[in-house]
Structure 1
Amino acid sequence: MPGKQSEEEPLEEAAAEDGAEENLVGLTVEEMHQGQEAALALEDMMALSAQTLVHAEVDELYQEVRLLGQGRFGRVLLVTHRQKGTALALKQLPKKSTSLRGFLYEFCVGLSLGAHSAIVAAYGIGIESANSYSFLTEPILHGDLIAFIQPKVGLPLPAVQCCATQLASALEHIHSHGLVYRDLKPENVLVYDPACWHVKLTDFGHTRPRGTLLRLTGPPIPYTAPELCAPPPLPEGLPIQPALDAWALGVLVFCLLTGYFPWDQPLVEVDPFYEDFLIWQSSGQPQDRPQPWFGLAPAADTLLWGLLDPHPQRRSPVCAIKGYLGQPWKQQEGEAEQLGKE
């Protein structure tokens, strides 16, 4: 990523209980039940999927073509079916670093989301081999979004708005299923075409039911919402809400517009860029923008102020993107230079 490579957040988790005090947890009864229903549905799907795993070595069934991507926990291969020749993407997770439950969870979250134009389509085929677990998805051949973001430039504005619209729609779909995605970053956005007109969200290993209690156990990254950096309201952690994804979407949109992060950590005491942003945001004066925000248009200011509100109850939902489409999100070159002189 331009600026620095983002890391996944190490978190501990627990289930939110009905007896938790509602105003402390920050969830309505309806929201809590939605998350609990999502968790139960996933448990049922995992139990069924465990019984229907195909037990075979991957190379017996599929011919490897090339590597599509690799991360800390596994790799994604382009393969073809040995009998039919069908091209597929195969995500392979080594058993030495992945439990059967962890594999089944990610596999079933993808299946539970069904068909959405901005989410990678998952096929209901899980494979257990001697040393790995694997599942199949549609193949997307142009890599992830990080390769298309030009440092200190970002993407062309039409591509930014296309990406933002599709990702907001994907996140809204995930939230409608009682889930929170929790891992939005360019590495998890796959690109269908070199112009970035069509993108799809992938990798659901960190997705959790709404209301799951989480505790941040490592240093925050730019995409980490500030409420995760504060002491949790319950000993077990913070009950997660879709507002976490709205924050990450705001940071990602900023990166797409500028080619760098707005800050390294959303902590006033350690990051002056974040402190400057909060002062500017609270002033309500767009013309007093800090240096990293030079070049953005007023519509982008308003959109990002909403998505990046430090108070999750006031934060705009991901669907707020829709209200700003077709408007300029970047200043014209002359306007940006004039702002820099004022």
Structure 2
Amino acid sequence: MTSLETEDHFRVVKLLGEGSYGKVMLVVHKKTGSPMALKFFQRSCTSLFSFLREYNMSLTFCSHPSLTRALGIAYLTPTHYVFAQQPGLHGDLYDIIVPEVGMEEGCVQKVVSQLCGALSHLHGLGFVHRDLKPENVFLCDAAGTWVKLGDFGMVRHTRTDTHTHTDTHTHTHTHTHTHTHTHTHTHTHTHAHREGSRVQEVWYSSAYCTPEAEVARRKEKEEEEEKGVGGGGGGGKEKQVWVSVDPGVDSWALGILTYALLTGALPWAETASDNPSYRRYRDWVSWSSCSSSSSSPVAPQFSCFTPPARSLFRALLDPRPRLRGRPGDALAFLGGEWLRGEERSRLEEERRRRRSSTGRKIMYAGEDKGDRGGRGSADLP
């Protein structure tokens, strides 16, 4: 890979974002005048394999209009691996979600439609994004109606192993009229076994974490208890939980993100059995699936939504991975009303009042603040 000095070829405009991986800078190519985003990965904590995997993913597979794409420029500096990608000139979704207010419903549906397309495209190619959140959805216009999903560092593939074997059988028949017939039968058998790439399951304190990850949390607690009993001796082997990558993790994240866009809040602070808001939701889903009555008690934080929208959330946020819907299922709900009339009016009034209060004021959820106004009011991620 070519070694370059960034300043020799690009004019740096501003910092777009930074994280544990490194940073993203908005630059202009000095020779062509084209704006682009340079993504810098610290070489001290990023392997060349990981860098090339994300670069090739963005360059080769992200042909969908709602996915950010690499621009074919990759190089290294003494401290960083770098590649160029399409820039999000207007920031990301995190920048424009107003706390406790969210975004206008029509805008939300446009965003959800584009994300459905992007995720369905990746899933169709056998990939799972695994890190859908507001910070990874980049704005292509100031209104927030044109977006692109980016950041493919967590992407993994669902592996399809196809085994083909051929059986050839030759039969020779001799008839009394001295005619000999030889028949050869060839049978080809194809067996496809689909299993996701194996990754270590990690539970983290967020609504975006799936319910199935809680098994990793229990393992962590067991380890802590064992260390406590054993006097803290660190000689034991860590109990890691390995799971197959599944598209359902993207469905769950899309459901949480949709809720956040509509309300400016999260439905619960963390997806855990001991979280009251999540437990009420889980009980509601369980009750709804067992009851033929349409009058099953609605989880309080979902009472502001219309029945079709509640069906959408129950599909994307089904606690049971095997029954969870796919992102494309949300397309059937586009065009209808998602917020109930009184809630829509309340949010529109609040949005007018706080028109100037946009910006990055939303923090990661730390603890559940309880339900207010029929909605969970945990802070947004």
Q: Greater relative contact order (Cα 8 A, min sep 6): structure 1 or 2?
A: 1
Deviation at 1:220, TM superposition (A): 4.0
2:198 counterpart of 1:250: no
Which residue does the alignment assign to 2:11? 63
Structure 1, residues 121-179: CA drift from partner, whole Å, max 9, x if none? 21121111111110001122110101111111111000110111101110111111111
Which residue does the alignment assign to 1:195? 143
Taking the aligned partners of 1:153 and 1:328, their CA distance within structure 2 comes to: 17
User: What does residue range 1-342 of structure 1 map to in structure 2 within 5 Å?
Assistant: 53-210=1-158, 211-230=196-215, 237-268=242-273, 270-284=274-288, 285=294, 288-333=297-342
- Asked if 2 retains the 8 angstrom alpha-carbon contact of 1:215 and 1:228, the reply is no
Deviation at 1:313, TM superposition (A): 1.1
Matched length: 285
Deviation at 1:235, TM superposition (A): 6.9
Taking the aligned partners of 2:42 and 2:119, their CA distance within structure 1 comes to: 28
2:318 alignment partner AA = D
Structure 1, residues 178-229: CA drift from partner, whole Å, max 9, x if none? 1110000000000111221101001000011121112234534211111122
- Asked if 1 retains the 8 angstrom alpha-carbon contact of 2:203 and 2:214, the reply is no
1:263 alignment partner AA = W
- Asked if 2 retains the 8 angstrom alpha-carbon contact of 1:286 and 1:298, the reply is no
- Which runs of no fewer than 5 residues in structure 1 stay unpaired? 1-52
Deviation at 1:259, TM superposition (A): 0.9
- Asked if 1 retains the 8 angstrom alpha-carbon contact of 2:62 and 2:68, the reply is no
Taking the aligned partners of 1:291 and 1:303, their CA distance within structure 2 comes to: 16
- Tell me the SS of whatever aligns to 2:323: coil
- Asked if 2 retains the 8 angstrom alpha-carbon contact of 1:190 and 1:200, the reply is yes
2:56 alignment partner AA = C
Deviation at 1:119, TM superposition (A): 0.5
Q: CA RMSD in A?
A: 2.2
Taking the aligned partners of 2:134 and 2:240, their CA distance within structure 1 comes to: 32
- Asked if 2 retains the 8 angstrom alpha-carbon contact of 1:262 and 1:274, the reply is yes
- Tell me the SS of whatever aligns to 1:206: coil
2:80 alignment partner AA = S
Cα gap change, 1:63 to 1:331, in 2 (>3 Å): same
- Asked if 1 retains the 8 angstrom alpha-carbon contact of 2:203 and 2:209, the reply is no
Deviation at 1:287, TM superposition (A): 6.3
Taking the aligned partners of 1:95 and 1:229, their CA distance within structure 2 comes to: 32
User: Which one has the bigger strand percentage?
Assistant: 2
Taking the aligned partners of 1:310 and 1:180, their CA distance within structure 2 comes to: 18
Taking the aligned partners of 2:202 and 2:87, their CA distance within structure 1 comes to: 34
- Tell me the SS of whatever aligns to 1:165: helix
- Tell me the SS of whatever aligns to 1:161: helix
User: Which one has the bigger helix percentage?
Assistant: 1
Which residue does the alignment assign to 1:50? none
Cα gap change, 1:334 to 1:66, in 2 (>3 Å): closer
Deviation at 1:286, TM superposition (A): 6.0
1:281 alignment partner AA = V
Q: Percent sequence identity over matched residues?
A: 35
- Asked if 1 retains the 8 angstrom alpha-carbon contact of 2:287 and 2:296, the reply is no
TM-score by length of 1: 0.78
1:262 alignment partner AA = P
Structure possessing the higher radius of gyration over alpha carbons: 2
Cα gap change, 1:235 to 1:65, in 2 (>3 Å): closer
Structure 1, residues 100-136: CA drift from partner, whole Å, max 9, x if none? 1121111111112232111112112111111111000
Taking the aligned partners of 2:108 and 2:343, their CA distance within structure 1 comes to: 21
Cα gap change, 1:212 to 1:334, in 2 (>3 Å): closer
Give runs of ≥4 in structure 1 deviating > 6 Å.
334-337
